Amino acid sequence: MPYIQLDGQQYPLVAGDNRVGGNEGARIRLTGAGAGEVSASLDVGADGATVIRRVDGSVKVNGVALGAEPAPLLHGDKIDVAGRELFFGDDRRAGNTQFVQPVRLAESAPHGSPGKATASTGGRVISLVDGREYPVPAGGLVFGRDPSCDVVVGSTEVSRKHASLSAGPEGYLLRDTSTNGVLVNGEPASSPALLGRGDVLTIGDEEFRFYADNAPAPKAALATLEVISSGMLKGTVMDVRSPLAHVGRGAHNDIVVSDESVSDSHAKLQRREDGWYVVDMGSTNGTYVGGRRIEGEAPLIGAPDLRFGGVKFIFRVPEGGTASGASQTRAIAALKVDAARRPVEGAKTPVVSQPGQRGAPRAVAPPKSAPRRSRVLALLVWLLVVVLIAAGVFIFFTGH
């Protein structure tokens, strides 16, 4: 039997005329301002087919104003009477979910589709059955058999709340909450699934094509970090796309280094007027430039080796960047070494010196011979004293 759902409550419709409005004779009574001035009639035939007629005021079906002619209602249609939203349902299309096949996949990380990447704006799906377009609102779009869903698919293979589509940081995510699953481009979709522009969603026996605004062009990398230490990360190149980029093991960082020797918030890379600098954030296992542990900050000259904990990188800036603006003298002065600290256990200390310092003047070590001459002179003085004492004792006993 057909029914009307209002405020979560179902009102069964009987064969013949079913009046909706604020009048006392209405089968479905509406309250509120303007309710008494608007009414509609739902006419149910012997076979359960239902049509709606406007009696007074403005009545809308699926957002379209109803004219003088009656309009047939389908399961899931939304009716607006006096500003109140009613949902038309049919028990023949909204019974229990019929299990079809186990295509539901386990929860996993967002799964990218082969479609073109999108922005997190302009999301919409278009029914390939009737051409109806459904924009994705800020709260997300819900697919399902229940007439209160945003997109109603009246099939017993479809769950009452089958799936949802909402915007995420990287685009639009489809989440499967159903018994029988969702297909994306003909393949079972993981949950959540990151949709691409033009992807086709199959829910029950209906298909929908997904569209959204094109993804903005990615920013050019200001610098790169290439992992050169041994391990699973070796060869990985990480782009530095911001003048201030945080580095660490935690997911909140701009550059995430998944290694136990790296602190949750380890360091930051900062571009200034005179070049790039690395700043240690009080990490446990230290930040190293050219094989030397830094305190506070140090400039990055040329293409230096840079180590966070036990993971070693080469830091590079593309041509035209500002990597070598700092003077070599300032670089040497700012690179402080804490001899009391030691690198993380098991980590190899790099032996490559910091590039750009080849021509820098080296401090001349004090001569090592001066302390040795002092020790020899003191020894000779003591020997002379011993000889004089011995001679005095000899003369005293012999009388010579």
Q: What share of the chain is helix, strand, coil (3-state, %, to 5)?
A: 10, 35, 55
The average pLDDT across 276-282 equals 95
Alpha-helical segments (H) within 320-368? 328-334
Contact criterion met (CB below 8 Å) for 279 and 296: yes
Distance CA 220, CA 314 (A): 18
Write down the mean pLDDT value for the chain: 79
At 367, is the pLDDT very low, low, confident or very high (cuts 50, 70, 90)?
very low
Provide the token pair at 360: 């820098």
**In the prediction, which pLDDT does 353 show?**
33
In the prediction, which pLDDT does 278 show?
96
Spatial CA neighbour of 5 closest among 90, 117, 92, 118 = 90
Tokens of 315: 């830091």
**Cβ 146 vs Cβ 156: under 8 Å:** no
In the predicted model, is pLDDT for residue 338 greater than 80? Answer: no
Please answer whether residues 240 and 322 qualify as being in contact, where contact means their C-beta atoms are separated by less than 8 angstroms.
no
Per mean pLDDT, which range of 127-131, 240-244, 352-356 is the poorest? 352-356
Q: How far apart are CA 154 and CA 89, in angstroms?
A: 9
Measuring CA to CA, which residue among 296, 298, 361 is closest to residue 326?
298
Question: Quick one: pLDDT at residue 399?
Answer: 66
Q: Is 306 helix (H, G, I), strand (E, B) or coil?
A: strand
User: Is the CB of residue 270 less than 8 Å from the CB of residue 244?
Assistant: yes
pTM for the whole structure? 0.45
Do 279 and 327 contact (CB within 8 A), yes or no? no
- Which of 260, 297, 251 lies closest to 275 in space, CA to CA? 297
